[in-house]
Amino acid sequence: MVKEMRNTVKRISGIFFGIAFGLCVAAEAVPISKVEVKGNERIETSTVLRYLTIQEGQQPTQKEIDDNLKTIYNSNYFSDVSLNQVGSVLIVKVVENPSINRIVFEGNKNVSDKILNTEVKIQPRQLLNKNKVYEEVQKILAIYQAKGYFGAKVSPQIIKREQNRVDIVFEITEGASASVRSIKFIGNKKFSDDQLRQIILTKEAHWWRFLANDDVYVPARLEGDRENLRKFYLAKGYADFRVASAVAELVPARDGFIITFTIEEGDRYRFGEVTVQNTIPYLKVDEISKKIGAKEGDWYSTAVVEKDTEIITNIAGDHGYAFVDIQPIPVRDEEKKTIKLVYKLLEGPKVFINRINIIGNTRTVDSVIRRQMLLAEGDPFNSTKLRASDRNLQNLGFFKRVEIKSVPVVGDPEKTDEDILVEEQSTGEINFSAGYNTAEGPFGMINFTERNLFGRAYEFGSRLYYAKTWQSLDVNLQDPYFLNRDLTVGIGAGKTKANQESQSSYTQHSSSARTWMGYHLSELLIQKWNYSLSLDKIGSISQNAAPQIRQQAGTKTVSLVGHTLSYDARDFKFAPTSGYVASMNNEWAGLGGNIRFLRNTIGGEIYYTPVDELTLGVLTEAGSAQGLGQKMRVNDKFHLGGDTLRGFDYGGVGPHSKTGNRDDLGGDRMFTLSTEATFPLGISRELGIRGTVFIDTGTTWDSKEKSPNVYNDKGLRLSTGFGLGWASPMGLIKINFGFPIWKKPGDKTSIVLVNFGTSRF
């Protein structure tokens, strides 16, 4: 009985499960009549449906449903996705990723938010994608590693906010920058480690590099170091040189690197026979051969070859050939250790300027740029004039970058376009300076200049200067191309108070107005004229002052006409390394007013760099002055010392009274001659510190002073010494130590001369 009941239950259960299985199979077999999307708030339903391959009328298999689920999830729009078929309806249920409310960086001190935001691509209002967040972490780490912070750590924090939003906070632990602990060279026999360390950009960390960053390891800089080593050796004749490896090893603390260069120097070669093969008409091989620097028997140098290529290019450019192909062909002789060199010149078309296109000027008007060009549309191409035009644009100081590109005109080989690409930079400056110099003690200055007013190259300047012995206020406005001509015209006004009590026992108050103009007589020859009208009051004269000082007391009107002629062939105006300048200056007071004198000076400078970074300079000046129908005032004469004759005090050389305050009386004759050498001190180039050794000689005397109470020896004074200059962020700091060798009775000496901050101009 029991057994029969069990069999009955089994039969009933089998029937039930069979019916249930049949119903499930029947349900799966129902075609999809509708697709419903639930849970989406920001994402459009149509966007979700685009990821579905299941269409209405299909009977999807379980595999198709699983594949569609993965596709929707991988869209990165959703944190959860489910697909269920209920009857003939396919229900797609999603949970959206939250949207990004804001992105925050914390702990970053050495990399600004601006830089990080530029590199990080995720933005507020985008949907959160955790994979992309971790990609941004790698980008941030790469930024820090490029700056030498190899121990930096970045932890992303996702903070939930209301309305399904999140804040992403990148918590940054910067750590210490990885400095270069040591730089080693393996395989160098001809040059020492110290010599090679001067060639490369990367430097070893030292305490005095606190303002530089070239002692921080930067991977990209290492490739530049390899190239610098290669250029150095090839320039010295080591044609087989190569850098086998450059390895940067991170120390265990991850705050420093040891860099090792393994090099193979090879043998040194000399130039063999040097010839020129020319196929270009109107170019003479003899002329080219005389000007090139590669000579048989000299040490081979790629630097000489590059210079020769430039020389030949310039010669060809001067004859109108813009795209001449110059091929230096070296032929190596392994046994003789020589390299035979052939300069092969292939003919190109004679080229004319088609168009001059100016690109990138957002402020400076086109005419300001075009007038610096020595070539015009339709002119024959001339590479010398093109280089001079490039130099003119660079010297304006208006642009961060200037690049002139010659672009051949398609279909016309005899024409070229010149594209002038410029990148504007700020031309207005306001400086608050403070400093110290030996003559005036502490001083302060506020200086405002705008060198490109209205984008038309007008120059405006104003300056307030205050020191114990000198106070002044000046304003001026100058147009370097008056009436659109190569004519500089300017106007200015100023007020000055000079305290000369320590030198000459008086004070001077002056108010002045002035105007000037200048123009080029040739490319390098400049002529200037100026006129000034000033009201001078001499007072506060000491009772012990010399008679010459007491005689000039009172208020005088000075009407002065000036003239300057200068020939400037220096490579740079402010830190020349080659070239020369000669000048003549004439001043005549007497066109009205009640002061009359004539003052003339001539001067010259010449610079030469015999080896890299060692510049020799010779500077000289001579002057003569005389009163016209009256004695010259002390303040109108020549005064020597300080910057003009190091080792002697300001106004310390020349006529001085023997009694009272031993006042500086100035001279009507003057001569100076300085020779100096400037050179780097082996400290980081970025710091701009250079050393100087000098020999100064000079004298000034009064040809009309016969009083026995006056020191008036016209013999030469001589001093020698050394100094250093630092182009610091606070201004130029100069310290000179001068030691008088020849001096005369009455001279005042001063061994140390200090100028700190921006000096008067």
Instruction: Say which residue, 301 or 326, is predicted with more confidence.
Output: 301
Q: With bands split at pLDDT 50, 70 and 90, how would you rate the model's confidence at 2?
A: very low
- Angle between the N-to-C axes of helices 219-235 and 130-146, in degrees from 0 to 180, rounded to the nearest 10: 40
Q: What percent of the chain has pLDDT over 70?
A: 88
Q: What is the C-alpha separation between 725 and 691, in angstroms, rounded?
A: 6
The DSSP output letter for 15 is H
| Residue 281 CB-density burial (10 A; 0-12 exposed, 13-18 middle, 19+ buried) | exposed
Whether 111 contacts 176, CB under 8 Å = no
Number of helices and strands in the chain (H, E): 13, 35
Instruction: Say which residue, 202 or 499, is predicted with more confidence.
Output: 202
Q: With bands split at pLDDT 50, 70 and 90, how would you rate the model's confidence at 21?
A: very low
Torsion angle (degrees, nearest 10) of CA 655, 658, 661, 666: -10
Among 219-233, 259-273, 368-382, 440-454, the range of highest mean pLDDT: 259-273
Count how many Cα atoms sit within 13 Å of the Cα of residue 606 in the half-sphere of its side chain: 5
- pLDDT tens, residue by residue, 69-103: 888 888 777 878 888 888 888 888 888 888 889 99
Q: Is the pLDDT of residue 561 over 50?
A: yes
- pLDDT tens, residue by residue, 239-278: 999 999 999 888 887 778 899 999 999 999 999 999 998 8
Whether 723 contacts 692, CB under 8 Å = yes
Q: Is the pLDDT of residue 207 over 50?
A: yes
Looking at residue 26, what is its pLDDT? 40
117-154 residues labelled b (16+ CB within 10 A) or e (exposed): eeebeeeeeebbeeeebeebbeebbebbbebbbbbbeb
Across 419-428, 640-649, 663-672, least confident range: 419-428
Nearest to 726 by CA among 357, 435, 466: 435
What tokens does 197 get?
Answer: 């360390």
- pLDDT tens, residue by residue, 437-481: 555 567 666 778 888 888 888 999 898 877 777 788 999 999 988
Q: With bands split at pLDDT 50, 70 and 90, how would you rate the model's confidence at 210?
A: low
Residue located via tokens 């130590």: 737
Looking at residue 695, what is its pLDDT? 97
Across 204-208, 282-286, 620-624, 711-715, least confident range: 204-208
Instruction: Say which residue, 609 or 315, is predicted with more confidence.
Output: 609
- pLDDT tens, residue by residue, 499-550: 765 666 667 788 999 999 999 998 789 999 999 999 988 776 776 677 777 7
Count how many Cα atoms sit within 13 Å of the Cα of residue 49 in the half-sphere of its side chain: 11
